[in-house]
């Protein structure tokens, strides 16, 4: 079965999705890492992301590998985030990446995290959660993670949010049947418990 966790950057998706996957014994899928790989390689090779996406061999696990190269840290820089957001706005890139993601979650038990898991990648997911938090809280969390300045993160986040929510193809929207969960002011344990309860209810 698939547990879909979607929402904007910094809402706590990765931390929550990893923890829920651990708690349930499911496998975690970081769908954003795939757009980050495409963005990074396109930027490095100065090629259109749509040309890179279909041929890139991405391996997700403890480390993230692109064509065998460990890019775990390289895909997390602000430049890579920007390149990922641009790549993810291209419908040809999305087609190639979504096709791989659908193949990945077709068998087994998954907690898949991203922007379009519940709407596009796995519309039949057994559980759909749309995680949110206030922009300030999201920027604060991300800045702490990166060791960066909150105001700079907030500004960059606003630009990416705008692009992610207004792009023509698969904009960031909650699936109509997703449970909206605002994590502002909640502890990680509280959020995990709420998601785990949703999964328990359908098992």
Residues that bind ligand DC (CB under 6 A): 9, 31-32, 35-36, 84-85, 88, 114-116, 160, 164
Token pair in block for residue 89: 């706005």
Give φ, ψ of 75 to 5 degrees: -80, -5
CB of 41 to ligand DC, least distance (A): 14
Tell me whether residue 31 or residue 132 sits nearer to ligand DC (CB atom). 31
The β-bridge partners of 16 are none
Taking every pair of Cα atoms in the chain, the longest distance, rounded to a whole number of angstroms, is 48
CB of 161 to ligand DC, least distance (A): 9
CB of 131 to ligand DC, least distance (A): 11
CB of 81 to ligand DC, least distance (A): 6
Tell me whether residue 36 or residue 141 sits nearer to ligand DC (CB atom). 36
Tell me whether residue 78 or residue 200 sits nearer to ligand DC (CB atom). 78
Tell me whether residue 12 or residue 114 sits nearer to ligand DC (CB atom). 114
CB of 200 to ligand DC, least distance (A): 25
Give the H or E element holding residue 4: strand 2-6
Tell me whether residue 88 or residue 139 sits nearer to ligand DC (CB atom). 88
User: What order do you get walking across the sheet with 64-66 strand by strand?
Assistant: 58-60, 64-66, 69-70
| Residue entry with tokens 């898991």 | 117
Contacts of 27 (CB under 8 A, 6+ apart): 21, 108, 109, 110, 111
CB of 132 to ligand DC, least distance (A): 14
- Between CA 28 and CA 17 the distance in angstroms is 7
- Measure CA of the first residue to CA of the last residue in the chain; give whole Å: 9
Tell me whether residue 10 or residue 199 sits nearer to ligand DC (CB atom). 10
- Between CA 94 and CA 141 the distance in angstroms is 27
């Amino acid at each position: 079965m698939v547990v879909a966790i979607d929402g904007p950057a910094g809402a706590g998706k990765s931390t929550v999705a990893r923890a829920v996957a651990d708690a349930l014994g499911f496998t975690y899928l970081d769908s954003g890492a795939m757009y980050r790989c495409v963005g990074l390689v396109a930027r490095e090779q100065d090629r259109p992301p749509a040309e890179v996406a279909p041929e890139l061999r991405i391996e997700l696990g403890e480390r993230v590998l692109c064509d065998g190269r460990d890019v775990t840290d390289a895909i997390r820089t602000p430049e890579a985030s920007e390149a990922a957001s641009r790549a993810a706005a291209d419908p040809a890139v999305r087609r190639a990446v979504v096709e791989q993601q659908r193949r990945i979650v077709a068998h087994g038990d998954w907690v898949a995290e991203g922007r379009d898991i519940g709407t596009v990648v796995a519309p039949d997911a057994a559980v759909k959660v749309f995680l949110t938090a206030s922009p300030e809280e999201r920027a604060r969390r991300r800045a702490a993670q990166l060791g960066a300045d909150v105001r700079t993160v907030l500004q960059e986040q606003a630009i990416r949010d705008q692009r992610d929510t207004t792009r023509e193809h698969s904009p960031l929207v909650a699936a109509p049947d997703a449970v909206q969960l605002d994590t502002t002011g909640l502890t990680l344990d509280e959020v995990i418990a709420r998601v785990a309860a949703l999964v328990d209810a359908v098992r």
